[in-house]
Amino acid sequence: MPADPVTPDEEAMQTPTDSAPVALPAKEESWLPLALDFGPLLVFFLTYKFVGVIVGTGAFMAAIAVAVLVSKVKLGKVSPMLWLSAALVLFFGSLTIYFHDQRFIQIKPTIIYGFFAVMLLGGWLRGRPLLKYLLGAAYKGLGEAGWLKLSRNWGFFFVAMAVANEAIRATLSFDAWLSIKVWGVTIVSLLFAAANVPMLLKHGLDLGEKKAP
């Protein structure tokens, strides 16, 4: 039985690991890409709570490797964000386990946020909305000016997230940092995505709500 189609507004609200927005193939169920992206982080959170940071980091590394494999098999591709996140999790996770130092795994989000901030803001300054190449299927009907503004907004969002991650990492306990990373970042990212919708509607975003005559 074919999966239910994903509506444009469902696509527009999806966020993967470390809060970068991503487009979903219309033929797939909306929960699968989100589960692949959020699942490894949840595995890390739960394993850390019950076993500890070193075992939790190992479970995180294994879970994100499984997420990449499932994404390739079930969706037919792996998103750039998932590839990047997996590479950094494996690299910094290995350093965390080898040196028994949890700071390595805490630095990973800052690097991802910084990478996307530089990419999106650099494209915006050159008049190239790079976010369009990642989210074209999610924001149907959006004009070029809308894409530029969306790329700019997410770029500044990632700057703020990088600064916030470093501030939280430096001032709070690992337990508090991880709780904020799993729950707070997810909520803030969804609220930020929703806050952009009115601007997107002014620039042609089609949420598929028009009724056929």
| Closest by CA position to 181, among listed 167, 197, 200 | 167
Tell me the mean pLDDT in the region 31-49: 84
- Model pTM score: 0.75
Name the DSSP class of 17: G
Tell me the mean pLDDT in the region 78-97: 88
Most distant CA pair in the chain, distance: 65
Exposed / middle / buried, residue 173 (Cβ in 10 Å: 0-12, 13-18, 19+): exposed
Report d(CA 21, CA 115) in Å as an integer.
14
- Check pLDDT > 60 for residue 129: yes
Report d(CA 79, CA 104) in Å as an integer.
24
Q: Which residue carries 């005559």 as its tokens?
A: 213
Per-residue pLDDT at 39: 87
Tell me the mean pLDDT in the region 56-66: 94
Average pLDDT of every residue of the chain = 82
Exposed / middle / buried, residue 54 (Cβ in 10 Å: 0-12, 13-18, 19+): middle
Residue pair 54/113 in contact (Cβ under 8 Å)? The answer is: no
168 Cβ partners below 8 Å, 6+ apart?
Answer: 176, 177, 180
- Check pLDDT > 80 for residue 105: yes
Tell me the mean pLDDT in the region 67-78: 88
Per-residue pLDDT at 21: 53
Phi-psi region of 204 (alpha: psi -120 to 50; beta: other; left: phi over 0): left
Q: 199 vs 121, 143, 146, 202, CA distance in Å? A: 18, 11, 7, 5
Residue pair 112/85 in contact (Cβ under 8 Å)? The answer is: yes
Residue pair 40/67 in contact (Cβ under 8 Å)? The answer is: yes
- Check pLDDT > 70 for residue 209: no
Report d(CA 49, CA 28) in Å as an integer.
32
- Check pLDDT > 90 for residue 76: no
Q: Which residue carries 């008049």 as its tokens?
A: 127
